[in-house]
Chains A and B, each alone.
Chain A
Amino acid sequence: MNSIQDDDLTLLWRQGASAEPDPGEIARLAGRASVSRFDRTVRRRNLGEYAAGLLLLLLFGWGLVAGNDPALDPAIDVIGIGCVAFVMAYLWWKHRHLTPLEPAADARAYQAAMLTRIDNQIRLLRSVRYWYALPLSIPGLWMVLQILLRRDTSGAFGNYRPLAAVLFLVLQTVLVLWVVWLNERWAVRKLRAKRERIEQLYEE
């Protein structure tokens, strides 16, 4: 094959895997691609996002119904429910138009859709401190304030209430900073790397 023609290349290419598919293989692929599997995956992903929020709602709801430390203002539970509901609603609002990428789009449109999706997610994560960390900190801060402003020593922790409040504040601050770092730095860095990979894929 001194002078390789286009037909030669085409033939060479097709010879590699041109055997007729056997019915067993088709049945296997068809079985794996069942709609229930796909739907289950999507449902599981969505449920995971809201499960944590629901748990917090239940906790605050329980506190409201059963009553916490009588020395604490029941308003904490109401504030907690409001804050968690806000975060869940915000997440839902931001993802309300999120549908799977259209796989039948042309390659340019698909790339653009992938990049837009990543950009939106980066924007969302970079503002985590405002819509996630801050609202979820409010009930804790409210509780700390209440404890610090109280005079009597009845209820849990007794004389050690101020110390417990400060420890709680430190713990919450560390947790919030960790969540903010995890989202705004670590996750965003990973998304940017992914964006770069997608861009590089199409570059010459």
Chain B
Amino acid sequence: MGETDRRIAYEDLLRRYLPSLRRLARSYARDPGEQEDLLQEIALGLWTALPRFRGDASERTWLYRVAHNTAISFVTQRRRRAQREQGGTSPDTPAPEMSPESTVIEDQQRARLCAAVEELPLTDRQIVVLHFEGLSASEIEAVTGLTAGNVATRLTRARQKLAASVRGKESV
């Protein structure tokens, strides 16, 4: 793959997947600054991995593998620093992303959902995020390296947790 082809393919990937990658970053980092840093790390990871993409897996599977693995490395590096800076306290609920067309209730629900997703165990979080991003069960298996049964069980359990979390907080 030549340099020009690589750049074209890379920009095309970003054009199609950037919103999804941004949401993925949100599931790993709560602070907006950290989300931005992670997004850049993922972008760099995709750039370096791109020449080795042979099409053995689907483009989506490959992309999410790179993104999740990069995010895990990022989290591993940052967690210690965050614990040092915050003294190991749990982070606050994120501020809802206000947009003109969304209602306050939706924003609150989304913030609850994001917080609940981030509180899931890593593997469950990966599965849920991939599911929300529209990957099929077989694609999720390929990204996580888990069996179909394991993915299904974890997904069901995680969805119940998330629904309960969003629903439970509504009545407060």
Interfacial residues, chain A to chain B (CB-CB below 8 A)? 1-4, 6, 9-10, 12-21, 25-27, 29-30, 32-35, 37-38, 100-111, 114, 193-194, 197-198, 201-204
Contact = CB atoms under 8 A, between A and B. Distances in A.
Nearest to A4: B163
A21 B15 contact: yes
Interface residues of B, number: 63
B144 A1 contact: no
Contacts of B122: 201-202
A109 B145 contact: yes
24 contacts: A3-B167, A4-B163, A4-B167, A12-B106, A17-B23, A20-B19, A21-B19, A30-B10, A33-B10, A33-B40, A33-B43, A34-B47, A101-B73, A103-B45, A103-B65, A103-B69, A107-B123, A107-B126, A107-B143, A107-B145, A110-B65, A194-B76, A203-B121, A204-B123
A104 B66 contact: yes
A1 to B, nearest CB: 7
Given A4-B167, A108-B146, A203-B121, A16 B26 contact: yes
B114 A9 contact: no
Given A101-B69, A193-B80, A17 B22 contact: yes
Given A26-B11, A104-B57, 13 more contacts: A9-B159, A12-B113, A13-B117, A16-B110, A21-B18, A21-B19, A32-B43, A34-B47, A104-B53, A108-B146, A111-B72, A198-B72, A202-B123
B66 A103 contact: yes
A17 B39 CA distance: 13
A33 B40 CA distance: 8
A108 B47 contact: no
A201 B68 CA distance: 12
A197 B76 CA distance: 7
Nearest to B18: A21
Interface in B41-74: 43-49, 52-53, 57, 62, 65-66, 68-70, 72-73
Contacts of B167: 1-4
B148 interface: no
Contact of B62 (A21, A37, A104, A111): A104
B152 interface: no
Contact of B14 (A10, A17, A19, A30): A30
B106 A15 contact: yes
B31 to A, nearest CB: 15
B11 A30 contact: yes
Contact of B48 (A10, A14, A16, A100): A100
B102 interface: yes
A158 to B, nearest CB: 53
Best-buried of A32, A104, A201 by chain B (most CB within 10 Å):
A104
